[in-house]
């Protein structure tokens, strides 16, 4: 069963209206949205291509209230050394993987992304890390730009704030394709709501995510996997 897009066309328009403080405005152009791409989403004519099985990447989609939330485990396929990215509402699936979770990386501190952190930390003994602009004491803060290692995989950290004060995108290199765990910074065909700063959300998405290679797989906090190339063509905020 396919995970549905996080946002429909009405959600997208609403986010732009709130971000630009233009309540009631429906003209996509005035809202900075690509009308053709927005129409395709409204008509159900676009969904990101199925990326198939990606060795070293596991996705977990768990229910949280009336929605679902994603979390990920990325691992070195040779050594099975792994890191968890967010926890979702239930980390049980992560704990059933035959890998060694040695680090926990949090994209931001919103409740749906950290709900099962105490259990994941206790079960794995792994330290948790979060961007130091987030107000959260249960993980070690770090400044964006710090690099980590997961087995032979390299993890680069980029500040993608706007939806939250200190949202971090984790760019992982060493698998067959580069992978970016973006949290709620960007969704397939949409983005987070710019709850802190709509302007910063747009800017950091453009500068820190959409400058990655087109084949970079985007692991979003909600909705399906997508790629940088797909979002450049099919995301109304950026196409």
Q: What are the extents of the domains in the chain? A: 9-47+54-234
The CATH number of 9-47+54-234 is which of 3.20.20.370, 3.60.15.10, 3.40.50.10470, 3.30.43.10?
3.60.15.10
Alpha carbons 8 and 233: distance in angstroms, whole number: 17
Query: pLDDT tens per residue, the chain (239 residues)?
Result: 799 999 999 999 999 999 999 999 999 999 999 999 999 999 999 999 999 999 999 999 999 999 999 999 999 999 999 999 999 999 999 999 999 999 999 999 999 999 999 999 999 999 999 999 999 999 999 999 999 999 999 999 999 999 999 999 999 999 999 999 999 999 999 999 989 999 999 999 999 999 999 999 999 999 999 999 999 999 999 99
Transcribe 103-134 into DSSP letters. EEE-S---HHHHTTHHHHHHHH---EEEETTS
The whole-number pLDDT of residue 1 equals: 74
CB 239 within 8 A of CB 232: yes
Q: What phi, psi does 144 have (nearest 5°)?
A: -55, 140
Alpha carbons 91 and 119: distance in angstroms, whole number: 8
């Amino acid at each position: 069963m396919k995970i549905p897009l996080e946002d429909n066309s009405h959600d997208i328009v609403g986010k732009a209206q709130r971000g630009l403080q233009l309540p009631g405005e429906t003209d996509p152009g005035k809202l900075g949205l690509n009308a053709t791409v927005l129409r395709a989403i409204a008509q159900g004519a676009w969904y990101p291509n199925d990326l198939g099985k990606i060795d070293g990447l596991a996705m977990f989609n768990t229910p949280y209230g009336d929605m679902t939330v994603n979390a990920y485990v990325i691992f070195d396929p040779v050594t099975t050394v792994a890191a968890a990215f967010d926890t979702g509402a239930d980390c049980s699936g992560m704990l059933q993987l035959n890998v060694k979770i040695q680090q926990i990386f949090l994209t931001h501190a919103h409740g749906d992304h950290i709900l099962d952190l105490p259990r994941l930390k206790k079960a794995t003994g792994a330290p948790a890390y979060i961007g130091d602009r987030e107000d959260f004491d249960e993980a070690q803060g770090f400044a964006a730009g710090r690099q980590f290692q997961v087995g032979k995989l390299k993890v680069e950290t980029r500040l993608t704030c706007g939806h939250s004060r200190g949202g971090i995108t984790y760019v992982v290199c060493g698998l067959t394709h580069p992978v970016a765990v973006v949290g709620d910074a960007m969704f397939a065909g949409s983005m987070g709501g710019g709850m802190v700063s709509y302007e910063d959300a747009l800017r950091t998405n453009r500068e820190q995510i959409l400058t990655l290679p087109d084949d970079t797989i985007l692991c979003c906090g909600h909705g399906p996997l997508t790629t940088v190339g797909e979002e450049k063509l099919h995301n109304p905020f950026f196409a």
